[in-house]
Structure 1
């Protein structure tokens, strides 16, 4: 069944008291339970559904979409731990099962982990795999310093946060270069800082050089439009600046310098305000 784990447009073949039976491409049928029907559907109509298996391993269709499709990654929270594995919340009524043999490390209930949706060809059902390294692309030569990319934060280490880059590469955001709150599962825009010889990638949340300070200046302007005045100045503590603006003191000083030269702000003894 090639629809398993994917979103497909399927034709409504017939209705029953339990719901609508949809035609599969191999000639079979899959049930879309009554609870997913609006009541206005008709036979022969196409409907977009996600196909997986229910608690009895029977194919079933639903109209809501999980956090990840087949062969995709997502950060998922552990709902339940058993001696056989873990059940993960992936946005559907039936949790995604991660067999113990497919865990990258022991899981804890309530914690979040990076999981890939895979097909178990022995049982013909979807399972989760947290051994993410097996699926990553090691060749990172296509990335360049300063390149903008999308990342998914999936783990925290002593150095910083591990991120998944474009769904296929691993990178690292260093804690001492982060000036805003970050949590496991967050998606963010990041910039390539360095591509190491071993293929590992270092990233940062702000672009380098002048563009970085232009972005910081824009952020300060947006805050001032709302608050009118900020009690921050050259002698403010780094902690106070980080709390109010989520940036370093150096970043703040460079940004207000640009704004002052552009006559966008006034610098007072006790803070800054719009010009």
Structure 2
């Protein structure tokens, strides 16, 4: 096994061409792109050794945070059902595979593109570099204990463990959160970013979380109907507001003026819509974010 792969070492620049320098260490030669900076022949440089997609020995002075014995979050870039998922650890021309053997048995709980996994690197006997998922003890070591002041606070984090008893996340503020199945609508997938609120603090400092909206935040059926109507219109707008004629509202939507006003009020408070010049407009970005949060 090439012990220089996936490791940080200092090598000597022995040659160059128009695109790259060539760095040597222990009789092995690695290619360093000149786009990373200028160097001189005979100069000693520190960097990270790996093999790119073409199995060429490469060297980068931009050292990844994820390395053997060093864990960091990496973004999922691709999903291969026959192999696993590929994550970006910062290498210029290579994403690293997380084996399907480390992923959930249920494929619908696999990470998707854009999710994040906490990984370190390993090298097998065939000199292949793999990303390996962090065990729970790593998250415990990284986390801090929750305090009562966090009760009812909104919180977000990344799912790192799926169990029958519930879901564990590492929050953006480095607390461990636990989501019981009764406090979610659907089971989050591994690596997914979720948004919730703190409903309790366990004696060990783990936060009990809920992904369900507060009662006053839940978007009702009437509000969902109005959102669906706005989604279908060409300009995501309608010539109706909370000041519109009750009969016109009843004829189009089949609900009373009072129901319409309550639904509009919910959507305004959630910043999903805006009203101006006698029209109601869908705020597209906020709709995508807030509705997905409400319906999880």
- TM-score between both structures, scaled by the size of structure 1: 0.49
Higher helix proportion (structure 1 or 2): 2
Larger Rg: 2
- TM-score between both structures, scaled by the size of structure 2: 0.47
